[in-house]
A and B are shown apart, each in its own frame.
Chain A
Amino acid sequence: MPWSKFDSNHEAPKGDRTLTYCQAIREAIDQAMCHDPRVFCIGLDADDKFGVFGSMSDLTHRERVIGTPISENAMTGVALGAALSGLRPVHVHLRNDFLLVAMDQIVNYVAKWEDMFDRQVRVPLVIRSIIGRGWGCGAQHSQSLHGLFAQIPGLKVVMPSTPYDAKGLFFEAVKDDSPVLFLEHRWLYKNTGDVPTGIYTLPFGKANRLHEGGSLTVVAPSLAAMHCLVACEQHGLDVDLIDPRTIKPLDLPTIVASVQKTRRLLVVDYDFPFGGFGAEVCARVTEAAFAHLDAPPQRISFPDRGMPASGPLERAYYQTPDRLAAAMRTILEGGCVPVGAANELSTR
């Protein structure tokens, strides 16, 4: 098992070397393919000159990058079949919305295969997919849907927010013998951060505290985590900011311990609200730490409607660090914020 020798290391390095989020993922893919000849990449436009927004440009093992037609459902089955036959596929999608075309294979096959046969076979399959946002992409090109996927037993859902996390979590995903959905946010691609040069893994289910504070726990994954960090830093908020890094498995102990300290919870989640990740975290914390809460747990999510295309509507639909800071301040002052911050639109 060539992957077992790499230690878990979840302290971010300092001054090692700076990469963008995109470069960190590219490096992780390249090193994973070099390290393990069973790893290959497959996906629509995976082999074209754009290299999946640069995340797969100039890979060492081009011969293990397979472009596919627009056949996402069948190609997911192809990747599963290969995973059941000794390979470790990384199936890539340019947008999360395209995963929905492959929902049958993802939910009925990939996620269920190990359970149906009591783990006599394993499914070492990584599904990489990128979340879009903005420029009028509209309702079919801007969805995240991690809450939907996390609902399905058999899928791990990983959402790195920093270059360091992206690389370490990617290795953990490739190393995993079970299916992992690895969700990247396109708006994080240019962010930079220190990244070790070698192979290292970060464990799933281990959250990262991005900002230390004592008066409010904020749980936020992916881009929302970075927006909340900006909000906390620029506005000097006394917030304990927890980036779960993985939606499932979820690091509940870290979140609960934080809530026991701050006595308040806000979940900021760039996904639809109903039955989503935010709802799940609020429910879990309420179950585990009801007595420690001084106020009802609160959520900020997308409005409960599809993304609008027009610029002004988009800018109102999506949160910004400033709006998040205002919401956090409201909660710190004892107030409440509505779940979908653009609620009126959703009930039109």
Chain B
Amino acid sequence: MNMERTSTIKRDDGLWLLERMRLVRQTSQRIAKLYPTNVMETPVHLCIGQEAVAAGVCRHLGAVDKLFLGHRTHGPALCKGLPLEKLMAELYGRTTGCSHAFGGSMHLIDVEHGLPGSSAIVGGSIALGTGAALAAQMTGQPFVGVSWFGDAATNAGVFYESMNFAALRRLPVLFVCEDNGWSNVMPKSAHSAHDITSVAAQFMPTSCADGTDVLSVYDLAGAALRSIRAGEGPRFLHCKTKRWMKHQGPDACDLPDNGIDRERDCPIRKLEAFLAKAGLAQANEFSALEARIEKQIDAAIRFAETSPFPSTDLLEV
């Protein structure tokens, strides 16, 4: 179905999406591989299988736009522009990490690239993207706020309260629900009686993307952000995707009915098939890209490994 889809996407954009998704995928896989050796003393919430959401949305964001994340940070942070070596160094607990070794995996920041911090208390950061949008509106600056959260965060009151305020004040904010269908091992059917998009539609225009298809996310995020930037108020983007991994840690998802077919549902494969069919790129480019990213990851890990740990002198009495 997706391979037959038509898209007017340009080669540049298509290759950017592929490159970012591969960066997120291969980095996540490398983290999963190294994690059992205990070089990263921090909980990791990986997003293998969910890469399309991060890439598809972030392609439309500039460094001035402010993105607020929850605990599942790596994908959107890398797509927003967080340099890979700063992520790896943070996971390795080194001073060169993006949060100077104080944050760990769940608390990433990159002020330069419009990532003013992320929170591990589910829900709260939905309000922060809304606040960024308020600042943009009050100061007349041309940036948008983006609140990024999972399906289960829609059970927190702050979700409704933030959407209501954003709608009342017509704030330039995009609410992105990265819906992987699970809250740890609790399926959506057990945590949400509501249909997420229908609820959001009470407050603002919504759209529903296939979060395993980056072109779907890219198209709908682009339309939503164009409308936000045109001053038409907040928008809600629902991206239904699939979590291939356990909630936390380096292992594959072992839930009985996770409905994942890694061939069918792979956002990278889907995009490669589309680009090849549309004559926008060729197979040898894909393998070259994969190899280049592996080298980039090698270099980032070397950077992390050779960076200093923070001095404990600071803590000694």
Contact = CB atoms under 8 A, between A and B. Distances in A.
Q: Do A and B bind each other?
A: yes
B153 A70 contact: yes
B155 interface: yes
A135 B315 contact: no
Interface in A303-344: 303, 306, 308-317, 337-338, 341-344
Nearest to A94: B184
Given A74-B157, A140-B121, A309-B103, A69 B315 contact: no
B107 to A, nearest CB: 6
A49 interface: yes
B93 A135 contact: no
B107 A137 contact: no
Interface string B89-123: 01001100101011111110000000000011111
B185 A50 contact: yes
Given A69-B152, A70-B153, A309 B310 contact: no
Nearest to B255: A49
B315 A310 contact: no
A141 B104 CA distance: 12
A188 interface: no
Interface in B179-230: 183-186, 190-192
A342 B315 CA distance: 4
B155 A344 contact: no
A313 B310 CA distance: 7
A7 interface: no
Contact of A316 (B97, B186, B315): B315
A338 B317 CA distance: 8
Nearest to B103: A309
Contact of A308 (B101, B106, B184, B313): B101
A98 B185 contact: no
Nearest to A69: B155
A67 B190 contact: yes
A316 B120 contact: no
Contacts of A136: 40-43, 93, 104-105
B284 interface: no
B152 A310 contact: no
Contacts of A234: none
Contact of B120 (A48, A69, A138, A315): A138
Contacts of B186: 45, 48, 67
Given A70-B122, A70-B156, A71-B156, A138 B103 contact: yes
Residue among A49, A98, A135, A308 having the largest count of chain B Cβ atoms under 10 Å = A308
A97 B309 CA distance: 27
A239 B121 CA distance: 40
Interface residues of B, number: 42
B309 A310 contact: yes
A141 B103 CA distance: 11
Interface residues of A, number: 41
B316 interface: yes
B314 interface: yes
A141 B120 contact: yes
A138 B121 contact: no
Contacts of A97: 121
Contacts of A138: 42, 102-104, 106-107, 120
A139 interface: yes
A71 B190 contact: no
Contact of B155 (A70, A137, A345): A70
Contact of A309 (B107, B121, B156): B107
Nearest to B91: A136
Nearest to B40: A136
A73 B157 contact: yes
Nearest to B41: A311
A275 B41 CA distance: 31
Given A309-B93, A309-B107, A337-B317, A316 B312 contact: yes
A310 B317 contact: no
Nearest to A318: B315
Interface of B: 40-43, 90, 93-94, 97, 99, 101-107, 119-124, 152-153, 155-157, 183-186, 190-192, 309-310, 312-317
17 contacts: A48-B185, A49-B185, A69-B192, A70-B122, A101-B123, A136-B43, A136-B93, A136-B105, A138-B102, A139-B102, A141-B120, A309-B90, A314-B41, A344-B313, A344-B316, A345-B314, A348-B314
Given A70-B183, A70-B191, A136-B42, 14 more contacts: A45-B186, A48-B184, A48-B185, A69-B192, A70-B152, A100-B121, A101-B123, A101-B156, A136-B104, A140-B107, A140-B119, A309-B107, A310-B93, A345-B315
The 5 A-B residue pairs whose C-beta atoms are closest, nearest first, are A136-B42, A309-B104, A316-B315, A310-B93, A69-B155
